[in-house]
């Protein structure tokens, strides 16, 4: 067994990696010369209730006139261990503007602060909530088909379960 198989070692390594990623992201964001094209549209912060903990999310709305556009749920990469919702901001803005979809960019709970199975369970509950509450938030939660979901393999599996098979 690897030393990373020891729970307290794995938790300590994950926390160090989370801290380093946050510092690196802030350093990169402060660099001069790094620009991302601006895309028309609006953003709103929402909180999605789940049994694990409330999930913060940023909703990107297209500038188009569609009264109930399709929805795309985005889960940042990181294997349920790394934070990274800010890294996907340019992608989410682009998708909302160019694909004319509402993008829900989810800041889900990560391990070791919330050990397995909490993160995939929360992803499951977020996708189900997005599908069930679309009309009250101005997106098509399932009338034209289920929400589109992007993310690394674990969030995709959780979203598939939310829409097709259950937890």
The tens digit of pLDDT for each residue in 26-48 reads 666 666 555 556 676 788 899 99
pTM of the model: 0.69
- Calpha distance 86→128 (Å, rounded): 23
- Calpha distance 156→146 (Å, rounded): 13
| Burial environment of residue 108 by CB neighbours within 10 A (0 to 12, 13 to 18, 19 or more) | buried
Q: Which of the pair, 9 or 161, is modelled with greater confidence?
A: 9
Give me the domains of the chain, ranges plus CATH numbers. 36-165 (3.40.50.1820)
């Amino acid at each position: 067994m690897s030393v990373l198989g020891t729970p307290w070692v794995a938790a300590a390594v994950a926390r160090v990696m989370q801290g380093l990623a946050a510092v690196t992201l802030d350093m990169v964001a402060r660099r001069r010369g790094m620009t991302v094209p601006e895309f028309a549209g609006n953003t709103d912060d929402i909180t999605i209730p789940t049994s694990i903990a409330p999930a913060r999310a940023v909703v990107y709305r297209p500038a188009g006139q569609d009264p109930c556009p399709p929805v795309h749920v985005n889960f940042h990469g990181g294997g349920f261990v790394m934070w990274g919702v800010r890294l996907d901001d340019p992608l989410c803005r682009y998708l909302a503007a160019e694909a004319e979809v509402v993008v829900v960019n989810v800041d889900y709970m990560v391990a070791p602060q919330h050990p397995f199975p909490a993160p995939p369970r929360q992803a499951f509950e977020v996708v189900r909530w997005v599908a069930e509450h679309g009309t009250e938030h101005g997106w098509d939660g399932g009338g034209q088909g289920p929400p589109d979901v992007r993310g690394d393999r674990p969030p995709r599996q959780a979203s598939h379960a939310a829409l097709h098979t259950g937890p």
